[in-house]
């Protein structure tokens, strides 16, 4: 079995694939809160409990680990976990990792590993050019050229980050559940915040996609990330919903690394 771990600033997503080299479909996946204070032993015990849900053990059934991480301390802890509990090093998306996707960023080292994994996963499933919209701590829109090159993209504060800032700076506003309001024109403060968060984010994405296509050409638009299911229904430009796209990209990178290794 292959473990794929996408460690972000807010959430860590763990995926379990049949293989390596087996089925491209996820057996299961779990979304956990990211905690840079977790030690390698805590991570090992946590992952051990997750795979045990399928009657599997780390020592005998997990034969591969692929990682993308935006949190250096978590990356280091995952490396130590793999050394102690798995007995082999992980494949980590980082500078020098062969992903099969040319990166045309001015400084390729600045590109988040999750954004590269998204590009790899998108190219496996869709014809370029592609715009990948990732709804996470930040909302990112990444452009993939018709030649399969990662060009760059757009970064804006994520929905929850923007809401947190709103609550902290506006004393009379309270936290609300992110569900569709009955009207775009909110009839209460709660509805107004919901409308701004959902319809506003969808409109932002639609507008940015249009501006990106002016440079990229007509593109396939794919949404992923923890809040993709929440926002995508309100967007006029998102065509495909792939919440676990990052994990699939990790699987592809792992398989390529294994073949070339």
3-state SS record for 184-244: CCCCCHHHHHHHHHHHHHHHHHHHHHHHHHHHHCCCEEEEECCCHHHHHHHCCCCCEECCC
Number of structural domains found in the chain: 2
Q: What is the pTM of this model?
A: 0.93
| pLDDT tens per residue across span 217-232 | 999 999 999 899 999 9
Q: What is the mean pLDDT of residues 81-95?
A: 95
Between 143 and 9, name the one with better pLDDT. 143
- Whether 25 is covered by a domain: the verdict is yes
Range of the domain at 229: 108-247
Q: Cα separation of 33 and 9, whole Å?
A: 9
Q: Are 122 and 220 found together in one domain?
A: yes
Same domain as 174, residue 243: yes
Span 85-109, average pLDDT: 95
Q: 237 with 153, same domain?
A: yes
Strand runs labelled E in 45-147: 64-69, 91-92, 130-135, 138-144
Same domain, 85 and 54: yes
Are 243 and 153 contained in the same domain? yes
The enclosing domain of 143 has a CATH number of 3.30.420.40
| 125 part of a folded domain | yes
Res. 237: pLDDT tops 90: yes
Cis ω before 20 (30° cut-off from 0): yes
Q: Are 142 and 119 in contact (CB under 8 A)?
A: yes
The answer to whether position 231 is within a domain reads yes
Q: Model confidence at 113, in pLDDT bands (50, 70, 90)?
A: very high
Q: Are residues 16 and 142 in the same domain?
A: no
Q: Assess if residue 260 is contained within a domain.
A: no
Q: Is residue 143 part of a domain?
A: yes
Give me the catalytic one of 35, 83, 114, 206. 114
Give pLDDT, residue 204: 97
Same domain, 78 and 6: yes
Pairing assessment for the beta strands 240-241 and 220-224 based on DSSP bridges: parallel
Q: Is residue 134 among the annotated active site residues?
A: no
pLDDT above 80 for 74:
yes
Same domain for 179 and 86? no
């Amino acid at each position: 079995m292959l473990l794929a771990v996408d460690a972000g600033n807010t959430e860590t997503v763990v995926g379990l694939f049949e293989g390596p080299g087996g089925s491209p479909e996820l057996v299961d996946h779990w979304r956990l809160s990211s905690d840079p204070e977790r030690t390698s032993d805590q991570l090992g015990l946590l992952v051990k409990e997750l795979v045990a849900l399928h009657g599997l053990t780390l020592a005998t059934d997990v034969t591969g680990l692929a990682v993308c991480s935006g949190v250096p301390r978590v990356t280091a802890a995952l490396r130590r976990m793999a050394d102690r509990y798995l007995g082999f090093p992980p494949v980590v998306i980082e500078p020098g990792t062969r992903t099969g996707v040319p990166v045309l960023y001015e400084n390729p080292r600045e590109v988040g590993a999750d954004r590269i994994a998204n590009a790899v996963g998108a190219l496996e499933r869709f014809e370029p050019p592609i715009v990948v919209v990732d709804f996470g701590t930040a909302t990112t829109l990444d452009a993939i050229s018709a030649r399969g090159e990662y060009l760059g993209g757009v970064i804006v504060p994520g929905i929850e980050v923007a809401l947190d800032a709103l609550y902290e700076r506006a004393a009379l506003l309270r936290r609300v559940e992110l569900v569709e309001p009955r009207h775009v024109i909110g009839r209460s403060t709660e509805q107004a915040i919901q409308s701004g968060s959902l319809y506003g984010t969808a409109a932002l994405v639609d507008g940015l996609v249009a501006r990106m296509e002016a440079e990229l050409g007509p593109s396939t638009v794919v949404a992923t990330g923890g809040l993709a299911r929440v926002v995508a229904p309100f967007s006029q430009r998102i065509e495909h919903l792939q919440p676990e796209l990052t994990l699939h990209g990790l699987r592809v990178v792992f398989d390529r690394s294994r073949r070339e290794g």
